Structure 1
Amino acid sequence: MSFGGPQWPQEPQEPQQQGQQGYGQPGGREQQGRGQGYGQQPGGQGYGQGAGGYGYPGPQGGAPGPYSGSGPRGGAPAPFPGAPAPDPFPGAQGGGSTPDWGALADASASRNRRRRRLMIGGGVLATLLVGAIVATAVVATGKKDDTAKNGGGTPTGAVSPTEAPSPEPTFSSVAPPPPPNPKDYISDPKKDKAPLTAEGLFPGTKLTMSGRPYKKGATSATTNCAAVTQGGLGAVLKDNGCRKVLRATYVRDGVAVTVGVAVFPSEAAALRAKERATGGIAPLAGAGVGDFCRATVCLRRSNAIGRYAYFTQAGFADGKKVTTADKGVFVSSDDLGTFAFNQIYARGRSQASAAAGAPGQ
């Protein structure tokens, strides 16, 4: 039943005592007695029923008690002088038929506040309980945090009570020296002290360059530099202080090439000999290779690296004249010149590596 105002708060109804059920309550069976709702069975106190109702004779057959509004609550008059008038709406708050909405709302809000406080307090208590259980388990099992296992238990720079302070890393402000340069060792006679022989400079019996195989012939070494030259090369070598000449001959597809390496006291001397070269290195026969580049045209070339100058003379083994169309001769000359360069540089690299690994270097 609605009264046109706010609805009843949706809270659980408090149990009422027997015989005090308020009118309009949902649910249970109707009971006889004082305070029942409309339409009660005879003997109740509802409107229009039995004695005491409005506009009906009293139990003594006296005059009817008309409604006058003079009762204690502004309702029916008291049936007896001095007695309180009956309450037509038992359980309702206030003097009228409308419930006290403010009181009901305050009660509901108070219950909600108590519920929230209980939930918050319960959550805090549960959190503290879980933390205490975890801490107890860690202490009981003797385990520590992972940072302690990884050496992260002590902050950087801190000192453990049982350990000495760890020294801080130090760095030198002096830059380390650069690694030795192989060219320095093949340019300076004071550093270039490794043994130097024809077999050491031209090892093995075969040579392969870019997939092209060469067979090695004879080798030689001499300190008489001019004796192993043709044309004006001897004088050039002598004038620049040549100390030794090492030679070797290689053969491939009918082309023979002699490569000669001249050793000088300095890089500048070797460079001058290369630039002023005339004539060529004398071809070296022997070890299965006949005379070649005698009274014919051959290909002569010269170059230098460090204190070494190297020369090549290439031609046909049968004495045929070399022309610009003979590409095989040019290729063989290039192969042997590259081989000589690589061998001289490897000599410098070997000595530089040895110096880098020596104590004090």
Structure 2
Amino acid sequence: MSFGQGGPHGAPGEPHRPTPQWGPPPPPQPTPQPPPWGPAAGAPQTPDWSALADDTAARGRRRKWLLLGGGALAVTAVATAVAVAVTGSHGGGKRSGLPAPEKLPSSSGAPEPSFSDAAPPPPPNPLDFISSADKDKAPLSTDTLFPHTKPVLYKRAYDRTATATTTDCGSATQNGLGAVLTANGCRKVLRATYVRDGIAVTVGVAVFDDKAAADKAKDQSTGNIASLSGDNDPAFCRATACRLTANAQGRYAYFTVAGYANGKAVGEGDTAALTAGRDVSDYAFRRIMYRAQEQAADSVRSSAPPKRA
């Protein structure tokens, strides 16, 4: 706003003086205008260094406070976000699936490991119990070795017709086998005869002190085990051709002789006697292994610690 010349504020009788102009500044003149913060026109052009310093300090303080205020807001925002996240994740212990701290188990209450908690030792080898007379202590007789009167071997039914035990190993053999058994320390021979469809098989199990003697007797075997007939049965395989087997397991060597029960010779291509001999030989093997397994199981049961009440 500007006031006109000779306005009401002029004193009477005073000469007229130009009224100061408060409008926009005049256009630039050849002489440079002072800076906005400088002195009025006509003053020296040296900057007011004190004013400049005060203005700069004031601006710095405002910026520092702005920065500090922004940092405080940022810290407050982060703290609020963390608190919300923690509250949402725990939800009173219901949504997280974790037990409350007071319900967590204490490590101090864990039981100390004991020897009984350790893995049990491996089971004993059953063959160890039938490889030496020192460990093979189970009762041994035709009743324990050949307990079945009508065994079914590979779906073929047999009848047991005779059993016998002798400590005179030579008397239970033919054609040189007795000498082999005796030379290797045979203790006794247990025999049993099985009959099926006119074919008779006698199995003889020779008992030695250890596995080495039984293996040697099997390797040196010659002749055959002597057939054993029932009280009312004719002799078989005495002077005719028959099928023979020889094997050993542990401290036992076992032999079979198989032929026709009526004494007829076994032909070269006849497989009936061969099959019967193999059936009964396998039966003897399984009975010897059963003896081994039972003794091994007994040793485990006897060494097991008593059960806790």
1:328-347 matched pairs, under 5 angstroms: 328-347=272-291
Partner amino acid, structure 2, of 1:229: T
1:257 corresponds to which of 201, 216, 229: 201
Give, in angstroms, the shift of residue 223 of structure 1: 1.2
After TM superposition, the score normalised by the length of structure 1 is 0.56
Aligned length: 243
Task: Work out whether 1:300 is the aligned partner of 2:244.
Answer: yes
Q: CA RMSD in A?
A: 4.0
Task: Work out whether 1:146 is the aligned partner of 2:102.
Answer: no
Return 5+ residue gaps in structure 1 as ranges: 1-70, 84-93, 96-113, 160-164
Give, in angstroms, the shift of residue 170 of structure 1: 6.9
Partner amino acid, structure 2, of 1:146: P
Q: Which has the larger radius of gyration?
A: 1
Equivalent residues of 1:297, 1:321 under 8 A apart:
yes
Give the match for residue 312 of structure 1.
256
Cα distance in 1 for partners of 2:151, 2:294 equals: 21
Equivalent residues of 2:227, 2:257 under 8 A apart:
yes
Cα distance in 2 for partners of 1:286, 1:292 equals: 11
Give, in angstroms, the shift of residue 185 of structure 1: 1.2
Return 5+ residue gaps in structure 2 as ranges: 10-22, 25-68
Partner amino acid, structure 2, of 1:223: T
Give, in angstroms, the shift of residue 238 of structure 1: 1.7
Equivalent residues of 1:147, 1:153 under 8 A apart:
no
**3-state SS of the aligned residue for 1:300?**
strand
Give, in angstroms, the shift of residue 274 of structure 1: 1.2
Task: Work out whether 1:356 is the aligned partner of 2:300.
Answer: yes
Give the match for residue 214 of structure 1.
158
Equivalent residues of 1:217, 1:288 under 8 A apart:
no
| Aligned residues with identical type, % of pairs | 45
Cα distance in 2 for partners of 1:192, 1:245 equals: 16
Q: Which has the higher contact order (CA 8 A, sep 6+)?
A: 2
Equivalent residues of 2:234, 2:263 under 8 A apart:
no
Give, in angstroms, the shift of residue 269 of structure 1: 1.6
Cα distance in 1 for partners of 2:6, 2:195 equals: 155
**3-state SS of the aligned residue for 1:206?**
coil
Partner amino acid, structure 2, of 1:233: L
Indicate the structure with greater helix content.
2
Cα distance in 2 for partners of 1:342, 1:129 equals: 75
1:230 corresponds to which of 137, 153, 174: 174
Give the match for residue 202 of structure 1.
146
Partner amino acid, structure 2, of 1:286: G
Poorly superposed stretches of 4+, deviation over 3 Å: 77-83, 117-135, 151-154, 165-172, 174-178, 287-290
| 1:294-324 CA-partner distances (Å, limit 9, x unpaired) | 3211112211111111000000122222123
Equivalent residues of 1:221, 1:246 under 8 A apart:
yes
| 1:244-266 CA-partner distances (Å, limit 9, x unpaired) | 11111111222111001010122
